[in-house]
Structure 1
Amino acid sequence: MGSTIRVSDNTKELLNRLKQENETYDELLARLARESDTMNAGVWDDEQAEAAREVLKQSRQSFEQDR
C-alpha cells in the first residue's frame, strides 16, 4: 500500500511551489526523482555555462547589497 513521509512545513511549501496543479504529491515526487536521474554534470556547452556563471554572480551581488 502507501507510506507516510514526514516533511517540515518549509519542505512542504517548497514542494507546493514545484507541484503542478493536477498533480498528486506521489506524482510530484516520482517526477522529481526521475528528473534527478537524468541530470548529468558537465553537459552544458560553453554558452550555457557562462550564462549560469553570470546568474550566480548577479545573485551573489544582490545578496551582498541586501545585507
Structure 2
Amino acid sequence: MESTIRVSDTTKELLSRLKQENETYDELLARLARESDTMNPGVWDEEQADAAREVLQQSRRSFERDR
C-alpha cells in the first residue's frame, strides 16, 4: 500500500541532506522514526545518564581548552 506525504520544498531539502546514497525516502523516514524511538528523554537509567553527563562535561572542557 502506498501513501503520499506532502512536504514543503524546504523540508524536502532538509530530508535530502539526511538521506544516504541509495536510500529511498521511505527508508529514510523509517530510519529516522526508528532512531527517534531510541532517543526518548528519561529512558536512560542513572548510570547511563551519569556517563552521558561526564562525556558532555569532557567535551565542554576540551572545547574551552582549544579556544
Q: Same fold (TM over 0.5)?
A: yes
Aligned residues: 52
Gaps of 5+ in 1: 55-67
Q: Considering only aligned residues, what root-mean-square deviation do their CA atoms show, in Å?
A: 1.7
1:21-62 per-position Cα deviation (integer Å, ceiling 9, x unaligned): 1000000000000000001436352233333xx4xxxxxxxx
Distance between the aligned counterparts of 1:48 and 1:10, measured in 2? 34
Matches within 5 A, 1:2-13: 2-13=2-13
| TM-score (normalised: structure 1) | 0.66
Q: 1:49 aligns with which of 51, 56, 60?
A: 56
Gaps of 5+ in 2: 43-48, 61-67
Q: Tell me which stretches of 4 or more aligned residues in structure 1 moved more than 3 Å.
A: none
Amino acid at match of 2:19: K
Structure 2 residue matching 1:14: 3-state secondary structure: helix
Structure number with bigger Rg = 2
| TM-score (normalised: structure 2) | 0.66
